[in-house]
Structure 1
Amino acid sequence: MTSYVSPPAEPRPQVLAARPAAPAPRQGIDADRWPDVAGLPPGSRARSAVAAALVRSALRRLPLRVRWGGGSVTGGAGPLLDVRDPEAFFRRIGADGLIGFGESYLAREWDSDDLVGVLEVLAAHVTRLVPPALQRLRGVWAHRHPGAERNTPDGARGNIRRHYDLSNDLFALFLDETMTYSSAVFTDPAADGWDELADAQRRKADRLLDLAEVRTGTRLLEIGTGWGDLALRAARRGARVRTVTLSHEQRDLALRRIARAGLADRVSVELRDYREVEGAYDAVVSVEMVEAVGEEYWPVYFDALDRLTVPGGRVALQTITMPHDRMLATRDTYTWIHKYVFPGGMLPSLEAIRQATAHTGLRVTSDDGFGTHYARTLRLWRERFTRRAEAVERLGFDATFRRMWEFYLAYSEAGFRAGYLDVRQIAFTADGVARGGAR
């Protein structure tokens, strides 16, 4: 049975001692693994009252139906948000904002028979949920990122371990046979069933390799190995591939897959930070890695891509993006996703990528967005994960973890369905000139 690292609670001295006994909806939650879910946060009645007033007002303006405490349903249309324990719900939001909203779901204080639908409505109206005056004071009430989650070389290793080293068996339960954990590219809008997913993932990888002009003899560097499928496809084209990762679990499985394919002589897999890589490559590819780098290190990351690519070489990235104004508004905010799923992560905007590459020799040659494809990919993962709940439990992941993972997948799918998030494949040419001089 596989154990896993439970997410650390946000530092709150003497919180556990101050918390009241958990009411019935929170019974059965492991307080050691999930301290901030099993108990309620300390908070004043005033903050809870303010949260209640703001949340009720916001929900009345949205296309949602709401049930409070088992009473009658308000609102005329839309998915149902069923708030089973309003007092706990408002208390969590008053203390921790959207982190509290997510923790309230984990504690079963609210639910929905259309979770993605509820979250999609919230994502589509995200700029209206908090009054403008409070949005301007975000720095006062929002939690800040813990220093331990900065993406220094040591910090990045810890952040990666908490997500990607959970268990290869866990990911295999909901990913397709390619073991690809990023957006697929479908051809037919109507053909997005499970049977189409593996081919859609291969299509995504091939498009990226085409953008990087990978062919026989190409010296290819991949930053972020995943479980090795893209490296395998590149090697089958005749490329010589070096791929680097910080995940022990992913490296182990990638090496086994490469050996089984008889391609160990063409692919090397290394446990190495991108900042430590040396050499010169005809092409560099990286799939949904920018998001894990963190804003502080985006210039360092793109400097590395520039430095490692020969003049005239190609760089091809796949990255999730968000609107620039929302990125600026939330850049310093510690979120539920940071706390429970992706510590240290940060989604860039297209403008942020342009700014981070402006001083390099990387020049954009193509840029294609396909966010609706990610919504479909996430739906397939979420449905498969939910169907395999018993198998997830047998791996040692408790009911709260499973609810957390379902919320994460639904939350992500909703963001793409609402158009709040996008995913893009961006190709660059390295022109050999950076910072005003030849390299």
Structure 2
Amino acid sequence: MSTLTIIYAINIADRFVLSTLLEPIKADFHLSDSALGFLTGVSLAIFYVTAGLPLGVLADRANRKKMVAISVGIWSVMTILCGLSVTYWMMLFMRIGVGIGEAGATPPSHSLLSDKFGPRSRAFALSVFGLGASVGAYLGASGAGYLNDHYGWRQALIIFGVAGLPFAALCWLIREPKRGQDDAGSNNRREGATLRDTIGFMLADRALVHIMAGATIVTFWGWGILWWTPAFLTRSFALTTGQAGSLLGPMHGIGGGIVMLLTIAIMAWLKRGPQWWVPSFVAWTTMIGAVPSMALFLVSDIRVATAMLWIFVPVIYIYIGPTSALVQNRFPPEMRAKGCAILLFVANIANLAIAPQLIGALSDVVGAHVAQPSESLRYVLLGCSFTGIWAAYHYWMAARAMKDLGQTVDSEQPSLRNLA
């Protein structure tokens, strides 16, 4: 578990490096917010969309540890090449390459962990795995900000890329467990379940549809807003890139880490109760987190904004482990990697494609119609903060669907017959 968690941290760190470096990249390449959003977000999402699902299908059949190792190597090399890029188009191409690597790592990682831990322990295990997100975001925010201020944004990307290469080799030491070894009925698995079978299974499960919808919107709300937060702090509060990174880094590493540890403890307790407690917990915490996310963009005092960020940033980590476990528990073993790929597909469209591009484009439009164009990002992000309530609604509906079916943590993956 530790190796996969570290690799996940590197994945998130390489993603947050770009978020932290938005302003210096924009200045160096003379970009609009729309072009910047496409370069740093949409370009990464292109291969999450086109390659993520086929790679998920492959992960349900191929050697998973080898897939993870190759993926880490690809995205690390491409991150290095992003730092060496001398034109917008060259960096765009390399950024797409980062997406190829990152699309192939998480589905096999989730599948591996789900075979190492039984249904009762998966929410706990995947919440531990989710700690990598807070560690990676901390490194990507604080580390990239520091490196940019002292050495430049190109050197920051190169250093982060080089740091991932040793872990590509380390991943080969992971033991490959038998698929579905801890699941009831694993001896009667359907071999070779297709992506179409997996989608049909998902659509027949009302709770699973709401989980996917909730995860999609919560990533737009949380990670989509945070994608532009360093730029917002730079423009609205006159912070440098390094100062913005230093401010946000501890919120991810310390605040997010503490919240993830609390989530792990809560998941360990909730496993004794019905399964619908898990999405209900995510719904309530998301609703609570939506309040400071709105307040953040209404205040003009950096001290108040910092206090709101210290609540908002840690809260967005809560959904990661529980959502991943819910998806893994509801799909049968032969569909788990594909189920994870579908989750990443819908979530990353919201987080990496829609959020960077939509927020950037709206910022350009709003900036042309307000007295202070530098404040356009504030107004757009304020509007986006209300989507946290929408995300909470879907998790509540998932909990209601599970409750109506009377499913507990002991209930294995529902069959299509039971869902009809």
Could you state the TM-score of these two structures normalised by the residue count of structure 1?
0.23
Q: Which has the larger helix fraction?
A: 2
Greater RCO (CA < 8 Å, at least 6 residues apart): 2
Choose 1 or 2 for highest CA Rg: 1
Query: As a proportion of its length, which structure holds more strand?
Result: 1
Q: Give the alignment's TM-score, normalised by structure 2.
A: 0.24
